[in-house]
Amino acid sequence: MSFVPGQPVTAVVQRIEIQKLRQGENLILGFSIGGGIDQDPGQNPFSEDKSDKGIYVTRITPGGPAEVAELRMGDKIMQVNGWDMTMVTHDQARKKLTNKKEDVVRLLITRRSLEEAVKQSKGSHPRQ
Amino acid sequence: DRRDRHRLKNRDGSIRGDKSVMIQAPGEPLLDPESTVVDDRDDNWGETTTVVTGTSVDSISNEDLTRISKDLEDSLPLDCRRYISPVLGAILGLISVITPLAFLALPQLLWRDTLDPCGTPSSYWLFYGVRVLEPQETDYRGIVGYAASLVDALLFIQYLALVLLEVRHLQPAFCLKVVRTADGVSRFYNVGHLSIQRAGVWVLDQYYRDFPVYNPALINLPKSILTKKMSSFKVYNLEEENTNNSTGQSRAMIAAAARRRDNSHNEYYYEEAEVERRIRKRRARLVVAVEEAFTHIKRHQDEETATSSPKHPRELMDPREAAQAIFAPMARAMQKYLRATRQQSYHTMESIINYLQFCITHNMTPKAFLERYLSPGPTLQYLDNNRGCRWTLVSEEPVTAALRQGQVFSLKRLDFALVVKVMPLPFLDLAEEFIDPKSHKFVMKLQSETSV
C-alpha cells in the first residue's frame, strides 16, 4: 500500500456501508480513526509501511454499527462517500465522517487479507 | 611520622585471625600494659611488594625508618616521637648525599692509613673498602665512575620507591564505604591499592574533615518512650519447678508485648514534632538577635574622622572589644539555641567571642557568623591539637595485606567505631561516539485518535 509520488495508487478495496446510529444528539459510527498527513506515521501499529499517512481504523466499538457492517480494526480507509482519505489531515477525515447531514457513510477500505485473497484466487484461476 | 607507628601483636610470626593493631599518635602515654611486650624483630612487618631489601643503609625507605624508630620509641620522651622520623630521614639523607663526595675525598685523605672503614654493613662501603682503600687504588677516574654508579643506583631506588609507594596508591581501584556506628553517618571514598594499615590511616585523615562531629547527646529515642514497653507485664510462675522457665517467661512477655497495641510510635512522633518546633523557634530568635547585634557596629573609615570628631568623638575599638560589645545582646539567644540543639558542650563562651571577633575582622555577615552554629561542622573543627587521637584498627585479616573486595575492617574509638567496607570500582568500558551538531533535528509527534 505504499505509494510512489506521481503514480496512481492501486489497491484492492472493499465497499462497506455503515448506518449511523443516533445516540441522543449525536450520530455515531462506532469506531475510532487514527493517522493523517499531519500525524506521525511511525506510531501507526496497523500500517505495513511506516511512512503511510493514511487514515486507519484503530478501534471498533463492540456491537456498534461499524462492527455490524464488518469493518475491522486495522483497515485503511481510502474513501468516504466519494471523498479521498489517503491524503487528508486527521481533522478533515473526522469531519467527513461526522457530517450531521448524512446518516449513511459508504467507505472504501483496504486490508492486507484482501490483497492475499485476490492473489490466491488469481493463482488458482489462471488468467484466461 | 605518626602514621608509621605500628605494633603487631603476633609473636609467633604466623598469620592469625582477629588482629588488633594500635595506631597511636604521639603525645599519648601508652596506657595499654600489653603493648610493652612487643616483638621488635617482626618478620611480617612492612609492605609486601617493595624491592628495597637491605642494600644500603643510605636508602630512605619508610620501612627502614620505622624499624629504626621503633627501637628508639620506648626510650625517648613522648614529645619527641613526632619528630623522630623526619630527623632520622634528614640524617640518612645527609649521609647519602655525602657518600659519593666521601668516596671521592677519602682516597685523598687515607692514603697513609690502611684502616678499613668499618662499622656500616653495606655492600657499597664494603666493596669500596676492599677494592679501593686496601690496595690504595690510584686510578682516580675509576673511583669517580664508581661513585657515579652509586648515585645512579640510589636514584633508581628512589624512583622505584616513588612508583611503588605513591603512584600505585593514587590510582583509584576501590571504593571504601565508611559508616559511623554511633549515628550511621556514612561517606564513600575512592582509594588505590593500599594495605589495610594505610587505608585505615587515610580514612582517618578524611574522617576528621568530612564527618560531622559526633554528638552523643543526640540519641534516637528518648528513654522514656523505650522503657515503657518493658515494665508493663509481670509474669507469675505457678508451676513447681523453677528450672528452664526463663526462656518460657521471656517468650511469654514478648508475645504479650507484641499483642498489646503499641502506641509508642505516637509518642515518638509528637515528641519529635515538639522538639523540632522548639528548635526552630529558638533558631529564629537567635538569627534576629545576631542580625540586630551586627547592626550596632560599623567598620571605621578613615575619611570620617574629619566630620565626626568635632561633634562626638567616637571611641575606636579593636575587634576584640567590638566582639565583646555586641556579644552581650545575643548571648542569651545563643545559649538557648545551643541548649536546644545539645551543642552547648562544643562551644564555650570564649570560643564564641573569638569566632565573633574573627568574623568582624573579616567583614563577614551575620549569616556567615551563624553558619558555624546552625549546622554541626566537621570533627576537625572541634579538636584541640594538644592531645593526639587514639584509634584502634580491628581487622580479621593481617593488616599488612592489600585491600581486596569484600573486606571489612573497623577503626574503634572509646564510644563509637568506623566500619569500613571495601568495594571494587567497576571496570569501565568507555566507548566514544561522535555526534555531528547538525544532526540534531526534531519532528512533531502527534498521535491523535478520534472516535466517530
B342 — pLDDT class (breaks 50, 70, 90): confident
pLDDT at B121 over 50: no
Q: Which of B444, B445, B450 sits opposite A94 (nearest CB)?
A: B450
Contacts of B155 (CB under 8 A, 6+ apart): none
Per CB-CB distance under 8 Å, the chain B contacts of A43 are 445, 447
3-state helix, strand, coil in chain A (%, to 5): 20, 30, 50
Q: Are B391 and B412 within 8 A, CB to CB?
A: yes
Distance CA B116, CA B136 (A): 11
CB atoms B452 and A43 under 8 Å: no
Banded pLDDT at B312 (limits 50, 70, 90)? low
- Max mean pLDDT among B143-152, B341-350, B365-374 falls in B365-374
Whether B449 and A97 lie within 8 Å, measured CB to CB: no
Decide which of B135 and A111 is more confident: A111
**Top-confidence residue, B60 or B394:** B394
> What pLDDT shows up at residue B235?
61
Mutate to test the interface with A, among B442, B443, B446, B450 (most CBs of A within 10 A): B450
Q: What does the DSSP assignment read for B299-335?
A: PPPGGGHHHHHHH--PPP--HHHHHHHHHHHHHHHHH
Contact B446 A32 (CB under 8 A): no
Mean pLDDT across A105-125: 87
Nearest-by-CA chain A residue for B451: A32
- At B323, list the grid cell: 566582639
User: What is the identity of the amino acid at B68?
Assistant: I
List all residues 6 or more positions away from B234 whose beta carbon is below 8 Å from its beta carbon.
none
- pLDDT of B69 reads 47
pLDDT at A13 over 60: yes
State pLDDT tens for residues B150-164. Answer: 888 889 988 888 887
Residues of A in contact with B444 (CB under 8 A): 40
* pLDDT greater than 70 at residue B231: no
Q: Which of A46-55, B232-241, B340-349 has the lowest mean pLDDT?
A: B232-241
Looking at every residue in chain A, the average pLDDT score rounds to: 88
In chain A, DSSP finds a helix count (H) and a strand count (E) of: 3, 8
Q: B444 versus B287: which is more confidently predicted? A: B287
How close, in Å, is residue B437 to chain A by CA atoms? 24
What is the model's pLDDT at position B46?
Answer: 45
Average pLDDT over residues B195-216: 89
The confidence score (pLDDT) of residue B5 equals: 45
Q: Do A39 and B443 touch (CB under 8 A)?
A: no
Q: Which residues does chain A have within 8 Å of residue B446's beta carbon, measured at their own beta carbons?
A: 38-40, 90
Q: Do A98 and B444 count as a contact with CB atoms less than 8 A apart?
A: no
Question: Averaged over B392-402, what is the pLDDT?
Answer: 89
Residue B401's pLDDT band (cuts 50, 70, 90): confident
Please answer yes or no on whether B445 and A33 come within 8 Å at the CB atom: no
**B-chain residues near A26 (CB < 8 A):** none
Does B450 sit within 8 Å of A90, measured CB to CB? yes
- B contact test, residue of A22, A31, A33, A105 with most B CBs within 10 A: A33
Q: How far is CA B26 from the centre of its chain?
A: 15
> Residue B68: its pLDDT value, please?
52
Parallel, antiparallel, or unpaired: how do β-strands A76-80 and A104-110 relate? antiparallel
Mutate to test the interface with B, among A94, A96, A107 (most CBs of B within 10 A): A94
Mean pLDDT lowest among B57-66, B186-195, B244-253, B416-425 = B57-66
Contact B442/A at CB under 8 A: no
Residue type, B392: T
Q: What is the pLDDT of residue A115?
A: 83
Q: Return the H-helix or E-strand segment holding B99.
A: helix B81-110
Q: Which set of grid coordinates corresponds to residue A123?
A: 493463482
Vertex B366 angle, CA B363 and B372, to 5°: 100
Compare B255 and A81 and report the one with higher pLDDT: A81
Whether B450 and chain A come into contact, CB under 8 Å, resolves to: yes
Fill in the DSSP letter of residue B213: P
Q: Do A58 and B449 touch (CB under 8 A)?
A: yes
Mean pLDDT of B26-46: 43
pLDDT at residue B55 is higher than 70: no
Q: Considering chain B, what is the average pLDDT of its residues? A: 74
Give this complex's ipTM: 0.78
